[in-house]
Structure 1
Amino acid sequence: MAKVSAVEGLAPKSMEAGDNNANEEQSTEGVHLKKELSLMNGVAIIVGVIVGSGVFVSPHYVLKNAGSKGMSLIVWILSGLLSMIGALCYAELGTMIPKSGGDYAYIGEAFGDLPAFLYLWVALFIIVPTGNAITALTFAQNILKPFWPACDPPDSATSLIAAVVTLFLTALNCINVKWVTRVQDSFTAAKILALVITFIASLFYLFSGHTENLQNMMDGTVTDAGSIAVAFYSGLFSYSGWNYLNFVTEELQEPYKNLPRAICISMPVVTLVYALTNIAFFAVLTGPEMLVSEAVAVTFSEKILGVMSWIMPLFVALCTFGSLNGAMYASSRLFFVGARNGHLPVAISLIDIKRLTPVPSLIFMCLMSLVLLASNNIASLIVVVSAVEALFILCSVCGLIWMRYTKPDLTRPIKVNIVVPIVFSIICIFLVICSCFRTPFEVGIGVAFIVIGVPVFGVFVYWKNKPMWLQNASNNFNLFCSKLFLSLPEDSKDL
C-alpha cells in the first residue's frame, strides 16, 4: 500500500517495544481517531456549524432576490424544511455507510471513485475553504466594528484578524478534541442566547407601537424563477453544515442512535431560531434599510439598542467563532478520509501519535482557507459554493435512491420513505437549473472547476504506473510530513 511505503520505518520505538499498556494497545490496534462525541456534542456541532455568518450575511441577499419580506420569510422557512429533508436522507446514508467523510463516502459507495474524487476536489478548493473564509471575515468585521463605529474596518485589519482566528482554531483542533468540543458546546449555547435576545429586543420594539414594518409584507414579491432560486441559495447557505456530522461518524458514540437523534433535535431548533431572527430584523428595519446594508445585524443594533449597539457585533463574533471551530473540526476529517483512500497525498491521512488528531489535514485546510481570505465578493462566492454543493448533495441523495436497488441487502437502521429523497432531488434540480439562467457566470465557474478535476483524477489517482521520479518525490514528501508532525498512518500495525 502507498501509505505504508511512504512512512516505512517510522514506527516509534515505544510502539515496537511496548513500553506501557497504552503503547502496546496502540501497536496492536493501530493509530485511530477516538469515539469522543456524545449526542449533545453532535447537536452542538450541527447547530454550531450552521448558526454562523449566514444568518447575519444572507438576510440582505435573500430579500434582494425575493423582493419582499414575506417571500423572504417563506424562503427562510422552506430552506430549513429542505435542509431537514436532506438531513433525514443523510441519516439513512450515515447509518447505512457508517464512515467518516460524509458525501465523499456516500458518492464513492454508490457511483465509484471518480465522482467521489470530484466531490473531494471541489470541497478542497471551493466548498470548505470559501465557507471558512467567509465565516472568518465576518468574525473579523464584527469584532472590529466597535473600534470603527462610523465606517467599515480597514481591509488589512479585517484580513489580519481573520487569519489570526483561523490559525488559533486550527491549533486548538490539532491539540485536543475535548477542548474543541468544549468550545463548541459553550459557543453554541452563547449564540442561541444571542439570537433569542435579538428576538426579544424586537418584541419590545413592536409592543411600543412600531408595527409598520410588518405591514404589507408581500409587496414587491419577485416571481422570476431564477431570482427565487438565487434567494434559496442565500438561504441554504445559512443552513449549510447540516451534513457536517456525517463527516465525523467514526468519532460519534453509538452512531446508529445518535446521528439521527442529533439531526432531529438540531434542525428544527435552527429553523425556528432563523425564522425568529428574521422576523426580528423585519420588525425593526424597513426593506430599503435592509437592502442598503449588507451588515443587517449591525444596522439592527444601531437602530434599536442605542449606546448598547456594540453588543450585536460581539454576538455575531461569538456565532462565527463557534461556527468556524465546528467547520474546521468536521471538514478536516473529510480530507483525512480522502487521503486515507488514496485520493489525496498520503501525508494528509497521518494522525498525530500523541494527540490522535489529523494534524496534517487540519494544517492543509488552514492554508487553503488563508489563501481565500483575500476574496471580498461575498454574493458571488455564496452562489458558486451553493450551486456546487447542491450538485453534489443531489448526487449523494440520488446515490441513496440508486443503492435501494443495487444494494438492497445493506443494513439500514434508518430507512426514509422513498418519496423523501425523490422530492429532495427534484427541488435540487430545479434550483440548479433556474440559477443557471440568473447567474450563469458563477454557476459556470463551479461546473468548470468540477470538469478540471477529471484530468487531475486521471493523472494522480487512476494512473498507477507513474514514473519513478514522481513516486519518489511523493514518498519523500510524505516521509517529511510524517517526521515533521510526528504522525503515522491509521494502520500503523502494517508498518
Structure 2
Amino acid sequence: MGEESQAGDGKVVLKRKITLFNGVGIIIGTIIGSGIFISPAGVYLYTGSVAASLIIWLASGLLSTLGALCYAELGTSITRSGGDYAYIYTAFGPLPAFLRLWIALLIIRPTTQAIVALTFGNYVVKPFFPECDPPENAVRLLAAVCLCVLTAINCISVRWTMRIQDVFTTSKLLALVVIIISGLYYICIGNTQNFENAFAGEYSAGNIALAFYSGLFAFGGWNYLNFVTEELQDPYKNLPRAIWIALPLVTIIYVMANLAYFAVVTKMEMMANPAVAAIFGDRLFGNWSWVIPVFVALSTFGGVNGVLFTSARLFATGAQEGHMPAFFSLFHVDKQTPIPSLIFTVPQAPVIVLIDPVACSEGLDVN
C-alpha cells in the first residue's frame, strides 16, 4: 500500500498499519473479556466433573481454532475487510449480506459493546463497594465514558488504538498468568482435595451440549481480525500466523486458569456463585483480593476497544457496497480512521447502557 493515503483517482487508500503483533492483540483482546473470570461455573454446572470440565475447555479451544483456520483461508482468498459480511456477499450475494450487516448494526454490535462496557464499569466500581452491589448509575456512567473515550481514540489514530489494544492485551495475559501461577503453587503445597473423583459427574447429551455452549461462548471473538484485513500488513502471511499464535495461546491459558480455579474453589462454591475469580481472589490474595476486579476491568476495557475498532470497519465495508449510506464509507485522509462510521454506530451502545435496565442487570453476567 506504501505510505500514500490517496490513489491517483482521489480515492483514499488505507495504509496497512496493523502488524502481526497488533493482529494477535486484536484476536486475544476480543476473545478474553470477562468470560474466563465467570464462565467456568457454567461449564462445571452442566458436567459436575472437574476432569470433564477441563476436557470441554480444551475441546472448545480446538473447535474455535478450527473455525479460525477456516476464516484464515477465507481471509486470504477474499482479502476485503468486513469478515462475515464480505464472505457472505461473495458466496451468496447481496441480500443475505445486507441482512447480516443490519443485524450486526442494530443488534449484535451495539449490545456486545454495551455488555462488555457495563462489565468494565461494574468491576471498576466494585473495589469501592466490597460489601454490597455497586450503584447502578455509577456503573452505567462509567460504561458510557469508556465507550466515548475509546470512540474518540479510534477516531484520532489507528496507531494509538492498536497501542491501547496491545497494552491491555498484555495486561490481561499477565493477570491470568498471576492467577495460573497462584493456583499451581496452591496445588504444589498439597491442596489437591478438589481433584478427588475428578471424573464423577453427569454426562447426558443435553448437559454436555450446554457445557460446550458456555465454553465456546468464552472463545467468541476469534474471527475479529478478519474484519480489518485491508489494514493488516501482508495478510497472506500474517492472518494465518496471528490465528496460529493467538488461539493455541488462549486455549492453554483458559485450561490452566480453570485448573487453578478448581484447585482453590470448591465444587459447591463453583455451582453456587458464577464469580469464581472473586472467590479465588478472596481465598488466595486476602487483603489484595481487589486485584481481581482490576484484572477484569483491564480485560474488558481492551475487549471494548477491539469491538469498536472492528465494528467501524464492518459498517464502512457495507457502505462501500451500497448497503448503508455512502457517507459511512468515508475515511479521514490523514488519520485513516472511519470517523463517520464510528460516530454513527457507537452512540447506540451508550444509549443502551444509560436507559435499558434489562441490559444493565443482565449484561454483567455474560462474556
TM band (smaller chain): over 0.9
Post-superposition offset of 1:133: 2.0
Of 136, 157, 180, the residue aligned with 1:199 is 180
Identify the residue that residue 346 of structure 2 maps to in structure 1: 366
Distance 2:317 2:38 in 1: 31
What fraction of aligned residue pairs are identical, expressed as a percent?
52
In the alignment, is residue 102 of structure 1 matched against residue 83 of structure 2? yes
Three-state SS of the structure 1 residue aligned to 2:346 is helix
Identify the residue that residue 280 of structure 1 maps to in structure 2: 260
Identify the residue that residue 23 of structure 2 maps to in structure 1: 42
Q: Deviations over 1:110-169 (max 9, x none)?
A: 111121122212222332222222211221111111101112212221111111111111
Of 317, 341, 349, the residue aligned with 1:337 is 317
Post-superposition offset of 1:287: 1.9
How many aligned positions are there? Answer: 360
Listed as ranges, the matches of 1:46-445 within 5 Å are 46-225=27-206, 227-373=207-353, 374=356, 375=359, 376-378=361-363
Post-superposition offset of 1:231: 2.4
CA contact 1:332–1:361 (8 Å) conserved in 2 = yes
Distance 1:218 1:133 in 2: 38
Higher relative contact order (CA 8 A, sep 6+): 2
Question: What TM-score, normalized by structure 2, do the two folds share?
Answer: 0.92
Question: What TM-score, normalized by structure 1, do the two folds share?
Answer: 0.69
Distance 2:51 2:122 in 1: 29
Q: Deviations over 1:412-468 (max 9, x none)?
A: xxxxxxxxxxxxxxxxxxxxxxxxxxxxxxxxxxxxxxxxxxxxxxxxxxxxxxxxx
CA contact 1:53–1:134 (8 Å) conserved in 2 = no
User: Structure 1 residues 78, 219: CA separation in 2 closer, same or farther (over 3 Å shift)?
Assistant: same
What letter matches 2:26 in structure 1?
A: I
Three-state SS of the structure 2 residue aligned to 1:352 is coil
Q: Deviations over 1:293-321 (max 9, x none)?
A: 23221121011110110111111111111
Distance 1:67 1:95 in 2: 42
CA contact 2:69–2:243 (8 Å) conserved in 1 = yes
Three-state SS of the structure 2 residue aligned to 1:377 is helix
Three-state SS of the structure 1 residue aligned to 2:222 is coil
Distance 2:264 2:272 in 1: 15
Q: CA RMSD in A?
A: 2.0
Post-superposition offset of 1:348: 2.1
Distance 1:90 1:170 in 2: 27
User: Structure 1 residues 257, 29: CA separation in 2 closer, same or farther (over 3 Å shift)?
Assistant: farther
Post-superposition offset of 1:239: 1.0
CA contact 2:154–2:161 (8 Å) conserved in 1 = yes
What letter matches 2:216 in structure 1?
A: L
User: Structure 1 residues 370, 68: CA separation in 2 closer, same or farther (over 3 Å shift)?
Assistant: farther
User: Structure 1 residues 324, 379: CA separation in 2 closer, same or farther (over 3 Å shift)?
Assistant: closer
CA contact 1:39–1:262 (8 Å) conserved in 2 = yes
Distance 2:47 2:316 in 1: 39
Post-superposition offset of 1:29: 4.0
